[in-house]
Amino acid sequence: MAPKKFLYILLSAIIVISAVSAYSEDIYKNRRQMMVEKDIKGRGIRDKKVLEVIGKVPRHLFVDEYLRGRAYEDYPLPIGEGQTISQPYVVALMTEVLRLRPTDKVLEVGTGSGYQAAVLAEIVKDVYTIEIRRGLAEKAEKRLKDMGYKNVKVKYADGYFGWEEYAPFDAIIITASANHIPPPLIKQLREGGRLIIPLGSTVYYQTLTLATKTKGELDLEQITSVAFVPMVGEVQKGR
Ligand code: SAH
């Protein structure tokens, strides 16, 4: 093939590919905005920053390609190893009740896809997130790095024990269900800090519970019923 012709075909291909990808990015953006209006704002989330961030973070990039078309429906989706990326409304709700400030340092237990960590990273200064399944931890760490999140640190470990090195945290979010709040996490929460956890002993539903640390003790507030995958590891050893 003549070099000129080859160049022409190559250039046309590049133009078509970038036009198609720009078009699909636009489609996702529109769908994301519609989801924010209908499923997030529509169900009572009021925090402006939370609404802005759910409208910004590309959830479709946190699931496998074959699921991208469903990323802006208000449902959890599989992320491998029997785990799920949470429902967007629940991510928004858990983020809202923590009443985060831009200067906060937040610990997440249950990195999963990294989506919740990205949402947090858009709002606060530093995010520390722990995942007990190595494959998921590695995938999420790479994904967050590739997307340019510099204020998120991912660790492969049992989140039951928290992340002592960076404690105390202004807020802690546990995105797997447990029948009690791990004591090391209570210890690593700063005085006046907030912790949110799906609390309960059944696999079908739990009570999303907000805990505020006051004079070393926790004040508990029940928010709503949710269905999370169970926290595994140390938390399951009796008690
Ligand atoms: N926040 C995630 C979804 C969480 S799904 C997201 O935005 O995609 C719950 C995750 O918690 C799973 O990935 C599961 O492997 C993890 N997990 C379960 N027990 C854990 C533990 N003890 N420590 C850390 N992660 C845990």
| Block mean pLDDT (10 aa), the chain, length 239 | 86 87 83 97 98 98 96 97 97 98 98 98 98 98 98 98 98 97 98 97 90 95 96 87
The answer to whether the CB of 207 falls within 8 A of the CB of 222 is yes
- Does residue 25 lie within any of the structural domains? no
* 93-128 pLDDT tens trace: 999 999 999 999 999 999 999 999 999 999 999 999
Distance CA 7, CA 123 (A): 45
Q: How far is the CA of 134 from the centre of ligand 1 (A)?
A: 11
**Is 225 in the active site?**
no
Going from the Cα of 17 to the center of ligand 1, the distance in angstroms, rounded, reads 36
Res 51: pLDDT: 98
CATH number at residue 84: 3.40.50.150
| CB-ligand 1 contact for 232 (6 Å cutoff) | yes
Q: Please state the atom number of ligand 1 nearest to the C-alpha of residue 81.
A: 15
Determine whether the shortest distance from the Cβ of 63 to ligand 1 is under 6 A. Answer: no
Other C-beta atoms closer than 10 Å to the C-beta of 215 total 7
Please report whether residue 15 resides in a domain: no
Answer whether 193 contacts ligand 1 (Cβ < 6 A). Answer: no
Domain that holds residue 150: 76-237
Check residue 105 and give its pLDDT. 98
**Is 60 among the domain residues?**
no
User: How many Å apart are CA 126 and CA 124, to the nearest integer?
Assistant: 6
Ligand 1 atom closest to the Cα of residue 113 is 8
Let me know if residue 233 belongs to a domain: yes
Judge if the beta carbon of residue 136 lies within 6 A of ligand 1: yes
Q: How far apart are CA 27 and CA 140, in angstroms?
A: 24
Nearest CA to ligand 1 atom 12: 112
Q: Which atom of ligand 1 is nearest to the CA of 234?
A: 22
Provide CB contacts within 8 A for 2, sequence distance 6+: none
Counting atoms of ligand 1 from 1, which one is nearest the CA of 112? Answer: 13
Q: Give yes or no for residue 88 CB within 6 A of ligand 1.
A: no
| Prediction pTM value | 0.93
Other C-beta atoms closer than 10 Å to the C-beta of 27 total: 13
230 domain residue, yes or no: yes
**Structural domain includes residue 104:** yes
Match 């469903």 to its residue by tokens. 70
pLDDT in the model for residue 59? 98
pLDDT at 20: 80
Classify residue 209: in a domain, yes or no. yes
How far is Cα 111 from Cα 132, in angstroms, rounded to an integer? 8
pLDDT value at position 110? 98
Rounded Cα gap, residues 169 and 163, in angstroms: 9
Ligand 1 contact via 229 beta carbon (within 6 Å): yes
pLDDT score for 70: 97
From the CA of 150, how far away is ligand 1's center (Å)?
21
Q: Are 129 and 174 in contact (CB under 8 A)?
A: no
What is the C-alpha separation between 7 and 15, in angstroms, rounded?
A: 12
User: Does a structural domain hold residue 45?
Assistant: no
User: How many A from CA of 40 to the centre of ligand 1?
Assistant: 23
C-alpha of residue 5 to centroid of ligand 1, in Å: 52
Instruction: Tell me how many domains the chain contains.
Output: 1
Q: Which of 12, 18, 86, 177 is catalytic?
A: 86
